[in-house]
Amino acid sequence: MDRRRLLQLIAAGSVPGLIAACGDRKPQFSAVDLTGADYAKDFQLPDVDGKPRSLADFRGKAVVVFFGYTQCPDVCPTTLAEIAEAKKLLGPDGQKVQGIFITVDPERDTPEVLKQYVANFGPDFVALRGTPEQAAAVAKDFKVYFKKVEGKAPGTYTMDHTAASFVFDPQGRLRLYTRYGSGAQALASDLKLLLASA
């Protein structure tokens, strides 16, 4: 087929495959694209009511998972507030986003403490709390670092931990790694792309 005939067919819309192939672009996310990563595939942890939860419970929603602890002075509340704000920025689609907080400090983060803590960011936020061994296993699977740092007074401590969120698409696949401080607008834009491609 000569070039002129091909151009005529394209102009007439007779070669949709060629046009579609040119337009097949990966979404441009603000966060780090982890599509196809072979870790952080799931979690199996109890919620504050003792009910076992996993990613399958949130199928159909974009899921934002963050590891932290309730006595965290800045990173944790800032991140959860950004997730809540991103949900608001999405309008009605915000209902299709699930925020999940996994504690790395089950010693102090009792179910009651966690319930009250996540309620500050929205009624639909879910907090998960395993045993110290379960928390360590899930963190390892997500490649999340955390470590207890003893305080100046006896019995006091803080937790050093990875300050990033993991975003799963509505099919339950790991897609994004969102660095701390990226902002609610960037997260909302990324979530909108994920929801549109579902």
Is 22 annotated to bind a ligand? Reply is no
- Mapping DSSP onto H, E and C, the string for the chain reads CCHHHHHHHHHCCCCHHHHHHHHCCCCCCCCEECCCCCCCCCCCEEECCCCEECHHHHCCCEEEEEEECCCCCCHHHHHHHHHHHHHHHCHHHHHHEEEEEEECCCCCCCHHHHHHHHHCCCCCCEEECCCHHHHHHHHHHCCCCEEEEECCCCCCEEEEECCEEEEECCCCCEEEEEECCCCHHHHHHHHHHHHHCC
Annotated binding site: 72, 76, 161
Annotated binding site for Cu cation: 72, 76, 161
